[in-house]
Structure 1
Amino acid sequence: MPGGTNRRALNSDGNPVITTTDLTKVYRSRGREVTALDGVDLHVREGEVYGVVGQSGAGKSTLIRCVNLLERPTSGTVTVAGQDLTALAGRRQSAGSALRQARSRIGMVFQHFNLVSSRTVRDNVELPLEILGVSGKERTRKALELLELVGLGDKARAYPAQLSGGQKQRVGIARALAGDPKVLLSDEATSALDPETTRSILQLLRDLNEQLGLTVLLITHEMDVVKTICDSAALMRDGRIVESGKVSELLATPGSELAQELFPVGGVASSEDRTVVDVTFQGEAATKPVISQLSRTYNIDISILGAAMDTVGGHQVGRMRIELPGRFEENVVPIGFLREQGLQVDVAAIADGPRANPTPLLKEGAK
């Protein structure tokens, strides 16, 4: 097994472990073409848990299958741990052997477990080690070690039919770790599980990420997964990445679609002479009574139209939509006060309609 590495100690600004460059995948059938990936550039750094989120048909599954070349890209490159996998995907036997060797360092967890029903749990974990030619005694030792790691040490002799969905997924994760991978790919690994089991599997993935120094790339359509486990995220739509970055930075980005999806708040101005503002709280600012301070300091009545609060990456984060009395020009000072408290402020609606040329104040984040 890889040595224990604390994920939080890794340099999040280091070199990417997974990189895709102008990645394109076109399916052709009966004279028709369907573009599943349209020039995708992805950069996942060492030690990150990176989530790719999007609706069904956005291209998420195709992307993750192209990362380990289960799907051959139509064009573009995939590099994992400094190795260009697309250069290994030739037709010659030597190229195929090199690609298989590279794949052994990339673990893959599937949505529907993909366990062999006729094999015991231990034998399922041993399967990739058999393919790699590992001796029987070493296979058994390694499989039992991995089952202990995922909390299934007592299920080695059981068969998949005797396990719950969460236990089956833990076996799938143990099997994915058999080759001591640097990278773990998760293809909707929790979408077939109930909420409580989902939480336990996400906690396991986070623990493995921290203990083994694994870089985890997961795809999901569930925003709660991104909120619970991801350091960075990308939003896909129609085969393209339309937004990406560290989750903490996205939450502080005015107009971020991902931030709005993670913490949806709604509400519209109650009358024409009102300004609606979205406020994002992070860290210590999330525990301060900033809105009440604003009301007292400037003697103004503030309406809260919507709010959402949760924990992201171990830190409390919240978003709130408030209504201020008066037009934008009358609220420049109160908005400045909020920014001085370390909050991200985004003017969501202005009484006299959208501004054609917003001032820098509308676009700048908290200093």
Structure 2
Amino acid sequence: MITTKGLTKVYTSRGREVSALRGVDLHVREGEVYGVVGTSGAGKSTLIRCVNMLERPSAGTVTVDGVELTALRGSEHRAGRELRAARSRIGMVFQHFNLLSSRTVQENVELPLELTGLDRTARRRKAAELLDLVGLGDKARNYPSQLSGGQKQRVGIARALAGDPKVLLSDEATSALDPETTRSILKLLRDLNQQLGLTVLLITHEMDVIKSVCDSAALMRDGQIAEAGTLTDLLATDGSELARELFPLSEFGTGRPGGTVLEITFQGDASSQPFVSQLARTYQIDINILGAAVETIAGRLVGRMRVELPGSHQDNVVPIGFLREQGLQVDIISANGVLA
């Protein structure tokens, strides 16, 4: 649904060139919620603004729903009309709501419909349907100043849906909200994704957002994609930086000198298997559990455990092989007191 290839954006500031994006390749499948995470300055906002052509890339291509937007130029000619039509199928939700204070909630939602020339009766009917969809049917006559932050963001989402988009872009839509409100907005985005078949691309600096709502994710650093994939695949990938950020065990110990410390990741059916007791009985070894946690990530039960086995790595080759044969991901954290 969304594909970028070699996407590059260079700004000129005080005679110097600054590269915000450096050859970004991204693929978002139809119907998924895809998160892009990274620290400030990583290029996330520039990326999402290039996807809907609020910023024109310096190089590379952007294709949304089969239309290569970068091939269309904004002008009075046919290509300009095609670009506007393509952008109308992309909804955008902003961090700071961008609501007009002089308009009621309903009038804010109607605004994009006014710009398309839709008649007043049809506008009102459509806006009322959208406000019901986001749970604000009773706030239609209120003004933005009378709403909470979460309610304002719901109005912003309703407005973004006014053009019946196939794609919804979210630019740090929850970063200004408290945790409880953030959870409710994320649930709304997931519900809209499922009810309307929306493809959602969101950017965030919060790993909890990725964990709670996304199917796939990409880690951005210095204008590039450092790592990307479905959350399930990432969690099953040895050495995945995103997986470690999604499910950190850094607070747990690294064991005692002379032992081998393993980090075991299990998903789905494997989470119900008593593999620790099986390992202890089969090989008659004492296992020291240093820490464990279980969470739901992308709607799937995922667990991670850090254990210490007595002896060196070489002494534990067979037990480690046994764990991997059970479908578990096993990472060696340290052996003989030396970090791997």
TM-score normalized by the length of structure 2: 0.96
Which of 194, 204, 225 lines up with 1:220 in the alignment?
204
Q: Secondary structure, in 3 states, of the residue corresponding to 1:166? A: helix
Q: CA RMSD in A?
A: 1.5
Q: Which whole-Å deviations, capped at 9, do the CAs of 1:92-142 have from their partners, x for residues lacking one? A: 543332211111100000011110010000000000111111111111100
Aligned partners of 1:335, 1:137: CA distance in 2, in Å? 68
Cα distance, 1:294 vs. partner? 1.7
Q: In 1, Cα distance between the equivalents of 2:76 and 2:16? A: 29
Which among 20, 44, 54 is matched to residue 36 of structure 1? 20
**Structure 1 gap ranges (5+):** 1-16, 356-367
Partner of 1:69: 53
CA distance in 1, matches of 2:56, 2:253: 47
Structural mapping, 1:177-192, within 5 Å: 177-192=161-176
Residue identity matched to 1:56: S
Q: How many residues align?
A: 339
Partner Cα separation in structure 2 for residue 235 and residue 306 of structure 1: 26
1:213-250 deviation per Cα after TM superposition (whole angstroms, max 9, x unaligned): 00000001111111111111000000000100010010
Answer with 90-99 or 32-41: which moved more: 90-99
Deviations 1:300-322 (A, max 9, x none): 22222333321012221011222
* Distance in 2, Cα, partners of 1:306 & 1:27: 47
**Aligned to 1:232, which of 216, 219, 233?**
216
Query: Share of identical aligned residues, percent?
Result: 73
Match of 1:79 in 2: 63
Structure-1-length-normalised TM-score: 0.89
Please state if 1:320 is matched with 2:328. Answer: no
How far residue 30 of structure 1 moved from its aligned partner, in angstroms, is 1.1
Which residue pairs with 1:345 in the alignment? 330
Which aligned pairs between 1:167-182 and structure 2 lie closer than 5 A? 167-182=151-166
Structure 2: stretches of 5+ with no match in the other structure: none
d(CA) in 2 for partners of 1:314, 1:269: 30
The alpha carbon displacement at 1:352 in A equals 7.4
- The match for 1:294 among 270, 279, 299 is 279
Deviation at 1:272, TM superposition (A): 3.6
Name the residue aligned to 1:306: 291
Q: 1:134 aligns with which of 113, 118, 121?
A: 118
Paired residues for 1:1-367 under 5 Å: 17-266=1-250, 267=252, 269-351=254-336, 353=338
Aligned partner of 1:259: which letter?
A
Deviation at residue 286 of structure 1 after TM alignment: 1.5
Partner of 1:9: none
Q: Secondary structure of 2:142's match?
A: coil
User: Aligned partner of 1:54: which letter?
Assistant: G
Query: What corresponds to 1:364 in structure 2?
Result: none
Aligned partners of 1:327 and 1:352 also within 8 Å: no
Q: Give the C-alpha shift of residue 268 in structure 1.
A: 5.3
Cα distance between partner residues in 1 of 2:24 and 2:185: 28
Question: Does 216-225 or 269-278 show the bigger shift?
Answer: 269-278
Task: Quickly say closer, same or farther: Cα 1:90–1:121, change in 2 above 3 A.
Answer: closer
Bigger mean CA deviation after superposition, 345-354 or 305-314: 345-354
Range that drifts further, 240-249 or 88-97? 88-97
Stretch moving more, 338-347 or 185-194: 338-347
Amino acid at match of 1:24: T
> Is the 1:268–1:276 contact (alpha carbons within 8 Å) kept by the matching residues of 2?
no
What is the CA-CA distance between 1:91 and the residue it aligns to? 4.6
Deviations 1:45-89 (A, max 9, x none): 010100001111110010001000001111111000000111113
Q: C-alpha distance in 2, partners of 1:48/1:123?
A: 30
Whole-angstrom distance in 2 between the partners of 1:300 and 1:112:
57
Q: Is the 8 A contact 2:75 2:81 kept in 1?
A: no
Residues 260 and 309, structure 2, Cα contact 8 Å, conserved in 1:
yes
| Partner Cα separation in structure 2 for residue 228 and residue 159 of structure 1 | 31
- What SS is found at the alignment partner of 2:98? coil
